[in-house]
Structures are given as C-alpha cells and as structure tokens.
Structure 1
C-alpha cells in the first residue's frame, strides 16, 4: 500500500509540489509565530521564578502611573511577617531607542540587596555591587553581548526629561564591575546600578518604582500580601501567585492572537490538499473502478486516498518545520547582536506542528477519499 501511495504522489510532481508547499507554508507560520509565543512563555516563567519568593508592592496608580517613596519600604518592613523589604527603580537604558518590546533597561537597586534579588543567578565575570559603589554597574548577559562589553569597560546610560517645549538628554558612563550568566529572563536585558545613583541620575529624589517584600520563613505569602495592603496606605500588593496568574492570562491572549494567524495559514494549505485530492479522485475514477472490480475493498480505496493526503501533510510538515527552524535560528542570531532573543523552538511546539500537519492532511483528504470509496465498479469503469 505504501509503495502505491508513493507512486501515485510522484506521478503528479508539480501538483504534489504545490500542495506540499501550501502545507509547509502554514507549518512555517506555526513554527515562527508559535516560537515567538513559546519564547514569551519561557521568558516570563524564568523571570517570575527568580522572584517567586517575593511580594510586589506597587504604587496605587499602577507601575507607570505613580511612584513610591522609600519610606514605604520601611513601613512594609515593619509589617509582621516581613523579613525584609527594599525598593527598586526601573528606567529605559536609552529612552531614544527602546528597541524590541521595550529594549534594555536600568535597575537601580540597593547594592547590599542585589545578591538577595539575584539569588538564583551566577556571575560570568567580575562581582556584584557592594555598598559604597559609585558609578558602577552589573550587566545582564544580553546587554554585555549587544554592546560587546567586558568587566572594566564602560557603558553609557541616558535619561531624558522634558523642559518647556524641548527635552534634555543626560548621559553618564558607568564602569562594568560584573556580568551575569544567561538566565533566559528579563534580567538578561538589565543594567543594575546602585539605587542612590539611579535616583540622582534620573532626578527621582528618594522614590522607587516598586518594592519587593520578602516573607519570613513559614509565612503564608497570600496572607502576608493582604496584611501589607491593610497596613500600608496607598499601595497595591501582588502575591507571587497573583502575579503569575495575571501574566498567564495575558500570555494566553497573546498566544491566541499569534497562533490564530498561523493556523489560518495552515488551513489554507489544507484546502489546497483537498483540492488536489478531489482532482486526483476525478482523474483516477476508472482506476478505482478497476481496483474494485479486481477485488479491492472500500476500505482499501479509503486508506489509499487518505494515505496520500496524510503523506503530503507529513512531508509539508517536515519541510515547514525545517524551514521555520532555520529562519528562527537566523533571526535569533541577528537579534542577539541587538541584545534580545525573540523565538524559542520547544519540543512541545515541534510535536504540535507535525501532528497538526498530519491531521490537516488526513482531514483534508477525508471527503475525497469517501467519494472515491463509494463509487460502484460499474459506474467507475463507464466514467470518461
């Protein structure tokens, strides 16, 4: 049966080629768009895991709507069950060139808290920030690669503020004292500097963007989150579970948008399979009649026709996966020079792509196969 399937497909090379191309184009779209979705999932997961033991305390107006005074960190620290609390300031590295999805960013952090905040990361070289550091910085791996920096080099940080009808851009060089290993998280795109220097450089006084609260051992983070919200005024608190839930909901929407476009392209490829198989059935009506007259059963015709469709689906899937993976790897290599990675090919994505391609071929060939299998031998042999 398999030999006959191969023979029938290779007899119509141009039509088969166009059909396989249609499917491979759809699977290519699934790999590219799905790779983008998978990368976002992995990045958020790794980012959350690095701070999974901490409660986020944010301004009442939201992360971008207001700021917190450092005195709020002291208030949070006084709440029963809080082992420690510290503020962080976040700003773009270059406000004039935000790049992909926000680009690189600066984190102002108390030097004595950096190792606690980055507890699951390793340094590729150099050291962490220490109290007394002035214009010193620890770089994420992507930033170091993007600007080709090593320990001892300098990195320029920019700030931009409005002044009447114009804007003023300030620049300051920070000496690199450490470079972090790759984490696959947002921290790879960070430049971490002492909090007091960040506040001074960005003219932020003693404000911070958010506060991390570390629960004491054996303290329920959910209960402590509510307690902080009740004891500290004008703040919004998020437990690790709440942050994870919100991010997962956002990622579901993003995944649906990206995958829907890819699935649409794949379905169009499936329609080309159905069209090809319908034409093949029409051309081979007498052949099917002769096969039935010689003793072939209905299921033999059904398996033969569906087998051809499934084979083209698998072939298109393999080509689509190979071309999509090649494109994704080339894009990641290019984007890595700009400090970011946009795609991730995971085993789950590969399995989904090949299964989808196979099912697409089978489903698209179902009606043509049914039509061929239901022909009576006499009717088929009289067909012109």
Structure 2
C-alpha cells in the first residue's frame, strides 16, 4: 500500500508539492510563534524562581509611582513574622529598551546582594560587599556585549564602576541586569531615599499569604503581592500570551489543512475509475479508506518535517541576528518539536477524512460507469 501512496503523490508532483508547502507554512508558523511562547515561559519561570519565597511590597500607586522609602523598609521589618526586608531600586539602563529583554539597573543594599539574587550563581568574582560604592555585578549578556571581566571599568551615567562580579547565565531577566549599591543608584538617579519595591522574607514557619495581608494592613500606603498571587498572575499572563501566539500559528496550520482537503478531493474525483477497478478486483472499503487517508497523512508528515526544518532554521537565524542586541526572543524545545510534528500529522489525517470517506463509499459499478 505504501508503494501506491508514493506513486499517487508523485504522479501529481506540482499539486502535491504545493499542498506540502501549504502544510509546511502552517507548521513554520507554529514553530516560530511557539518558540516565542516557550522563551517567554522559561524567562518568566527562571526570573520568578529568584523571588518565589519573598513577598513584594509596593507603593499603592505602583512600582514607578513613588511613595516607598527606606523608612518603609523599617516599618515592614517591624511586622510580626517578617524575618528580613530590604528595598530595591529598579530602572532601565537603556531608555529605548523597555520590558523584560531590556537592560535593567538594579540598586541593591550591598549586604543583601547575595540574598536578593539567590539562587543565581556567580560565573566570576563576588557579590557586592558592605562599603562598596562604585562596584557593579553584571549579568551574562552585559558581560558579553561590553566585553567585561572582573576588574573592568563600566560607565553608567558618566560615572565609572568597577566590575567585581559576573553572574552565570540564567535565561532570565538577570542576564541583562546591572547590579549596583542601592545608595549609589539613588544618588545616580536623584531619587533621594526612594525605592521601587521592598522584598519581605517570611519566617520559616509563617504562612506567606497571611503575612502578605498583615503587611498591607500594618504598613500604610502599601500594597503587597504574595508568592501565591504572583504565581497566579504569572500563569494568567503566560496563558494569554500563549493563546495569542499559538492561535496565530494554528490559523496558518488550519489553512494548510484546507489545502490538503482540496487536493485530496480533487484526487478522489480524478481517480474514480482507479477506485472502481480496485474494488472490482477485491479491495475492501477499509483498503480504499486507508489508502486515501494514508496519502493525506503522508503529505502532512512531509509538510511537518519541512516546516520544522525551515522553522528551526529561521529561529536560529533570528536569534543570531538579535544576539548583537543581547536579546533572545525564541527558544526551541523538544516539547515544541513533538507538538508541531503531531499537529502536522493530525492536519493531514483529519483533512483527509472526508475525501477518504467519499472514496471508500464508491460503488464499483457506478465508478466504472462514471469513468
């Protein structure tokens, strides 16, 4: 039967090639959009892992709305159940590059730098130490872009900092982070004693969700985000992003499926006599069904392989091109490749169901008479 499938596909080379390319285009879209979704998911999860055990405390007006000062850190520390608390100042290094892929300046109390960045490990050097003023710890991408090593000089707002540490690659926002002492960051950006947010670390046996509410009630002018709430928000954000990106790819793939159905319907109409002869010499309805369905599935397989090869190649080319800006937007994972291939096979098989059903229901006498 496989010989018949190959023969029937190759007998109509142009039509089959266009159909396979239609499926490939759909799978290409699934790979590209899916790779963007996979990268977003990995980046968010790795970024969250650094602060998954901490409660975030914001000003009621939000992260960039002001209102949080060093005094609020002391207020948070006085709340029962809080083991530790410290403020951080966050701003963008490049004003024209906002968001998760842009470079971030992170002002951290030097004595808390290793705690604040845990579990991120150092590739070289050390974390900030008490007494540091113009010392800096940089993420892996910053190190690569500027060719930095420990001891190198790094300019931020016309001030020169000495690189004392380089973070190991994490696949998170910390790869693009520039960590400097909090007081230095406050002076550099003329914000007084303001901080963007406060991290509160719960005592070991204290429920973080309950403590989060207690901080919000005890410290006026603040709102909190517990680890559980953060996880819910992250999952919602990821779900929305995934639906948008994957839907775009699926739409293209469905169009490819319609191409398969159209090709198979035309093939069935043209091969009426062939199906009549096959049935006349003893072929069963199941044989005709499997033959037609096999052709559609095989085209789906070829389209899937082609789409994956082109999609993966395009992703690597785009990542290589974006590497000059130290931005990675796409991530190919085994899960994505498996999903794409299964989807390609399903497109072929489902698109061939109706044409296969029509072919299998042909009467031998009617088919021969029609021919």
- Bin for the TM-score computed over the shorter chain: over 0.9
Q: 1:370 & 1:224 partners in 2: Cα distance?
A: 63
SS of 1:143 mapped into structure 2: helix
User: Is 2:288 aligned against 1:301?
Assistant: yes
Show the counterpart of 1:72.
Answer: 72
Contact 2:100/2:173 (<8 A) preserved:
no
Match of 1:261 among 245, 248, 263: 248
Show the counterpart of 2:138.
Answer: 139
User: Is 2:279 aligned against 1:292?
Assistant: yes
Show the counterpart of 2:26.
Answer: 26
Q: 2:109 & 2:150 partners in 1: Cα distance?
A: 20
SS of 1:150 mapped into structure 2: coil
C-alpha deviation, 1:152, in angstroms:
2.0
Contact 1:140/1:181 (<8 A) preserved:
yes
Show the counterpart of 1:166.
Answer: none
Contact 2:101/2:176 (<8 A) preserved:
no
Contact 1:146/1:336 (<8 A) preserved:
no
Contact 2:56/2:200 (<8 A) preserved:
yes
Show the counterpart of 1:165.
Answer: none
Contact 2:66/2:194 (<8 A) preserved:
no
C-alpha deviation, 1:157, in angstroms:
2.3
1:77-226 counterparts in 2 under 5 A? 77-95=77-95, 97-98=96-97, 103-158=102-157, 171-226=158-213
SS of 2:83 mapped into structure 1: strand
Q: Deviations over 1:195-219 (max 9, x none)?
A: 0000000000000000000111111
SS of 2:156 mapped into structure 1: strand
Contact 1:94/1:157 (<8 A) preserved:
no
Instruction: Structure 1: give runs of 5+ residues left out of the alignment.
Output: 159-170
Contact 2:138/2:177 (<8 A) preserved:
yes
Q: 1:99 & 1:284 partners in 2: Cα distance?
A: 59
State the aligned residue count. 371
Give the TM-score of the pair, scaled to structure 1: 0.94
Contact 1:107/1:192 (<8 A) preserved:
yes
Q: Deviations over 1:302-335 (max 9, x none)?
A: 1100110011111111111111111112222222
Moved more, 176-185 or 7-16: 7-16
C-alpha deviation, 1:101, in angstroms:
5.1
Show the counterpart of 1:380.
Answer: 367
Q: 2:203 & 2:315 partners in 1: Cα distance?
A: 44
Q: Deviations over 1:215-274 (max 9, x none)?
A: 111111111111111111111111111011111101111111111111111111111111
Q: 1:16 & 1:155 partners in 2: Cα distance?
A: 58
Show the counterpart of 1:320.
Answer: 307
Show the counterpart of 1:167.
Answer: none
Q: 2:66 & 2:273 partners in 1: Cα distance?
A: 77
Q: 1:377 & 1:48 partners in 2: Cα distance?
A: 65
Q: Deviations over 1:62-113 (max 9, x none)?
A: 1233341111111001111111000000011021x31675511100000110
Q: 1:101 & 1:272 partners in 2: Cα distance?
A: 39
RMSD after superposition: 1.3
User: Is 2:58 aligned against 1:58?
Assistant: yes
Contact 2:92/2:98 (<8 A) preserved:
no
SS of 1:207 mapped into structure 2: coil
Contact 1:142/1:336 (<8 A) preserved:
no
Q: Deviations over 1:327-377 (max 9, x none)?
A: 112222222331221111122211211111111101111111111111100
SS of 2:325 mapped into structure 1: coil
Contact 1:305/1:369 (<8 A) preserved:
yes
Contact 2:24/2:304 (<8 A) preserved:
yes
Contact 1:270/1:360 (<8 A) preserved:
yes
Give the TM-score of the pair, scaled to structure 2: 0.97
Match of 1:368 among 343, 355, 366: 355
C-alpha deviation, 1:156, in angstroms:
2.6
1:265-280 counterparts in 2 under 5 A? 265-280=252-267
Q: 1:294 & 1:25 partners in 2: Cα distance?
A: 40
